[in-house]
Structures are given as C-alpha cells and as structure tokens.
Structure 1
Amino acid sequence: MGRILPCPLSFHPNKPQYSDQSQSITHYSDSSSNSSLASQSSLPSVPSLTPPLEHPTATRDSASAYHHCLATLKGHSSSIFSLALAGKHLYSGASDGEIRVWDRSPSSSHGYTVAEGCSSVKSIVVSGDKLFTAHHDHKIRVWKIDNSTDYQKYKLVTVLPTISDRCMRLFSAKNYVKVRRHKKCTWVHHVDAVSALALTRDGSLLYSVSWDRTLKVWRTSDFKCLESVQNAHDDAINAVVLSDDGLVYTGSADKTIKVWRKPDGEKKHSLVSTLEKHKSAVNALALSSDGSVLYSGACDRSIIVWEKDGSAAHMTVAGALRGHTKAILCLSVVSDLLFSGSADRTVRVWKRSTGSGNSYSCLAVLEGHRNPVKCLTAAPDSNNSNSSNDSGNSYLVYSGGLDSEIKVWQIQVPRS
C-alpha cells in the first residue's frame, strides 16, 4: 500500500517561489548522447509571450492563482516516468517497471501495485478496460484493468507486436527492414525504447513512437500493427500527440516537430510539414482542446507556442513561454491552462490572457520535488464543490518526479 503524506508547504499568490538547482541525468538517443535534462541556451530569436520578471521563478501578483500541495503519494522505489488519469483512478509507471494504481481522491487515496517486473515504463494510456504501457525493452504491453478488489494484479492480455502479428510477417522479404548495419527485423517491431503512446478519441487506434525513429499505428480491437513510418525523424522520437482532425504531431531529439496525416482513401500517413525552431531536443508536446494551438517543450528551457494559420495543417510560431531554468520535460493542457514540468524541479501553470493581443501569464510555480519533474497530468477538481463558481475554477495537478514521488496539487484560478 502506498503512503500519503501531507505536503509541508502551502503556496500563496503573494509570495514568489524560487527553485534551486537540480541534478542532470542522461537521456539516451540512437546516434548521440543527448541529455533531455541538460540546461541549454534559450531561443533569442523567438519573442517571449510572457512579461519580463525580476526573478525567473517569480510570478506577478495580478495574474496569480492560489496553489497548494494536497498530498505526496509514496510507494514507488524508483523514478516516476509516466502518469495517466482514468475515471476515479491515477496510474503511475516507474523506471523499475512497477505500475501502480491510486485513488484520485486526495482525502482517501491509496495505491497498490498492479504490475511489476517489466522494463521501465515510459508511457501509459487507458482505453475502456485496457491499460497500454510503453517500455524501455521495446515492447508495448496491454493489461486488463480490474479494480474490483484492492491489491489485485492486472492480467497481461498481450505484448505488442503480438505473436500472430510477428508470425504473419516472417516469411516475406518485403516485411523486413534494416535496423542496424548487419541486422534486419520485421517492420512491426520497435527496436529501441518505446517513448510515448497516444490514443485516438474513439480508442480505435493506438500510436506509438520510439527512440528507433519510427512511428507505428496499432488497431486496438485485435492489436494488429497497421503501419510503421520508418525513419520518421533523424533521431530519437520523444513525444506524440493527436488532434481530432486527424493530424499527428511527433517531437524528436533531432530538434524538430513533424506533422503527419493519412489522406482520405490512403493506407499510410504522409508528412505534411516540419516545424523547426527549437535548438535542442524536443521532449514534450501538448495540444489545446480544440487543436488550434500546439505547445512544445525542449532542452532549451523554452515552451514554443505554435498556432494554426490558414490551412488546418500549417502552424506558425506565436512566441515562447519562458521562466523554467532547466529543460522542459513534460506538458499537459486542461481547459485554457498549460502545465509544464522541468528539470529545475518545478511545475509552472500558464494561462493565455483574455482580450486583445497574444500573451500568457504564469499563474503559479509549484515547488516541492527534490529531483526533476518527469511527468504530469491534470483535470478539473470534481471533488471540490467550488471547482467552478463565480470566484474561479479549481484543478488537480499530479506531478511525478525522479525523486520517486507523486505530488497532488490543487490550483484555484480566479475568473478573468
């Protein structure tokens, strides 16, 4: 059973918070030793969308939100690499392969292990009664969710690619692709860490990206691999997000974001555009709820804001959000808020300003993690009777760190 500790600190909008330095760890890349936690130069060529501040971790009183750490969830013994919300539960995956489920209610939540012994868990998504997990050992695992009894382990449904999928490809030379100088394997296999997963809104398709530079599409009804985009990037792919209009965005250590679409009547995705502005590895992507704004976080400490311009697939740089002092590692969007986690051990809360102009405010800086913040997820605070009233909106934010802890934050955003 996991432990829940009350956070010792409350955070108030009138008191600026300051972060200290964090340790770096090396992020593996196929062709080089890129560090997603390295502090690299920012982007002087991209205009800032946030007003200048006297201190990089301060927030303006006029645009701040009340924020409070409700609890610290302890139970994992290694770094938290992935988080996902589904219904009344929070799922977490760690670097030692342990997967835990937690009750989302901070007042009564507890956690227990539902799977273990696998490779490092890089990403988690949920569809119906299935839990999909991406792993460092090149595999995607599918689990049957059963929360009817506490401490019950989930049943492993299958591992992707499935045995039948692999066997179907064995006997035709056209199904083999070169993965190293003297090695080939069938195209359904990932041959390096599977770094991120994304589901279509109807749950029918699962997208996976990998440090092997490929983008793959899987049918969730029978777990068949439908497509593999080989050499989708020139280096490891770290992130993937989907929009409801069919666009697929991938972010890579090659410093680019690529936009993909499957044209009507076609069986394969084609490249629509390449977004180039970051000067270092792209670690995280997030889309606004309507798909009109894309956020990308990288080792250059900046979050670039991309907005659709004209055609549905064409995006231009609106500017950058600055304030983090180290690499951006994770992003999450809820309503009109953007949450960012960084190697500087903080979570920042951003809100687009209303009215004319294209500017953002940093509403809060959440401090408390002892190591880099690797993953984030957030949702409206349904447990708070005042989650949406005349005074503002309330949200719950869950952050997972390399300190093996998950922190639960409550954010109360005043109405504009």
Structure 2
Amino acid sequence: MPTQLEGHQKVVSGIALPSGSNKLYSGSKNETVMICDCQFGQCMGVINLGGEVGCMIRESPWVFVGMSKFVKAWNTETNIELSLSGPIGEVYAMVVGNDLLFASTHDGSILAWKFNTATNCFDPAASLKGHTLGVVSLVVGANRLYSGSMDCTIRVWNLETFHYIQTLEEQLKL
C-alpha cells in the first residue's frame, strides 16, 4: 500500500526523483526541501533553505532548486552543493538541454549556465531577454529553447548562438 508523505506546511512547488535513486526530493513555499525514502515512505532529512522554492528539476546526478535570486544545485552522487547567482526575483521554471541549465524568472529573463568540470562549478553562459513578463515554462528540442511567458507569447531561441529566432503569438480571429 502506498505511504502518504507528510511534512510540508505550505504549497509543494517542486519534486525531483533522480534516476537510479530511491530518494524523492520535494521543495515547498515553506522554505524547505524534504528528502524522503520512496521504498519506506519515511523522511530522511529536511534542508532549510531560508527562501521559498519556486520550482525544482533533476538532471542526474543533479537536483536543481529555483528560488528567489539564485538556483541551488546538489550533486546527489558527490554531495557537492552549489549556489548559482544571477536571477532577479523568483525562478519560475528550469530545464536542461545541450549541456546547459536554463532558469527563467518573473522579470522575463532566461539565464543559462554550463558546468565546468575543471572548476567543478557552473559558469554563466548566456542571458536571454525579450519577454515583457515572467517566463513560466521552458522546453528544449531540436537545438531550440522555447519559452512560454505571462506576456502570452512563446519565444524561440537558437541554442548554438543564443539568438532570438521568432515569437509565436495567438492571432485573434474577428
């Protein structure tokens, strides 16, 4: 019988299950990340972040937590913990593609980082600007980044050059 996981006192805003792991990571607006054992349904630990979790994704071996003004990165194999600075305001969405981590924020910006194996950290790679309101959805496919925004548009970006390609908008039919 499935076990009910309890512990967050506010909205759960992100979950991540690293492949090959039995640990479920859940982030909440109560400023914590809980690590639970999926097999036994028990909480293995709570990490107090000191800020609300906006979103969370996993790209093995990494778990990324989008917060206000930075992204937390945990390597679940080596236990390395990093803070990626750069975002202005809350991080709404993240995606990994073409060996890059993308994070979008409430001001319409999209930031990109690339992992540097020599320094064991993430280096800033690009800052994409064009949306007028928060970017709440990101998808990578066919060497493109697609960003969905509260400004009711989808922007398309080239992942090799980081240049804007086009804007997709709904056309009103009269």
- Structure-2 separation of matches of 1:218 and 1:115: 24
The CA deviation string for residues 348-388 of structure 1, in whole angstroms up to 9 with x for no partner, is: xxxxxxxxxxxxxxxxxxxxxxxxxxxxxxxxxxxxxxxxx
Question: Conserved in 1, the CA contact under 8 Å of 2:16 and 2:63?
Answer: no
Task: Note if 1:132 corresponds to 2:64.
Answer: yes
Counterpart pick for 2:34 among 96, 100, 120: 100
> Structure 1 residue aligned with 2:127, among 228, 241, 246?
228
Pairs within 5 Å for 1:14-413: 70-87=2-19, 88-105=22-39, 108-135=40-67, 137-145=68-76, 157-161=81-85, 189-200=86-97, 204-221=99-116, 222-230=121-129, 232-243=130-141, 245-263=142-160, 268-277=161-170
Larger RCO, structures 1/2 (Cα 8 Å, 6+ apart) = 1
- Could you list the runs of 5+ residues in structure 2 that have no partner in the other structure? none
Q: Residue 238 of structure 1: CA displacement?
A: 1.0
- Relative to the length of structure 1, the TM-score reads 0.37
The size of the alignment, in residue pairs, is 166
Q: TM-score, normalised by structure 2?
A: 0.82
Contact 1:255 1:278 in 2 (8 A): no
Q: Residue 18 of structure 2 contacts residue 24 of structure 2 at CA under 8 Å; is this kept in 1?
A: yes
Contact 1:211 1:237 in 2 (8 A): yes
**What is the identity, as a one-letter code, of the residue corresponding to 1:269?**
F
- Work out the CA distance in 1 between the residues paired with 2:59 and 2:115: 9
For 2:41 and 2:3, how far apart are their aligned partners in 1? 10
Say whether the 8 Å CA contact 1:98–1:113 is kept in structure 2: no
SS of match in other structure, 2:17 = strand
2:3 and 2:152 map into 1 onto residues whose CA distance is 36
Shift of 1:209: 0.8
Is the Cα–Cα contact under 8 Å of residues 96 and 117 in structure 1 kept in the other structure?
A: no
Larger radius of gyration: 1
The answer to whether the Cα contact below 8 Å between 2:18 and 2:63 also exists between their aligned partners in 1 is: no
Question: Percent identity between the aligned chains?
Answer: 22
Task: Look up the equivalent residue of 1:213 and give its one-letter code.
Answer: G
Cα RMSD after superposing both structures: 2.5
Structure 1 runs (4+) deviating above 3 angstroms are: none
State the alpha-carbon separation in 1 of the partners of residues 75 and 36 from structure 2: 16
Distance 1:118 1:249 in 2: 31
Shift of 1:156: 6.2
Deviation at 1:155, TM superposition (A): 5.6
> Which has more strand, going by share of residues?
2
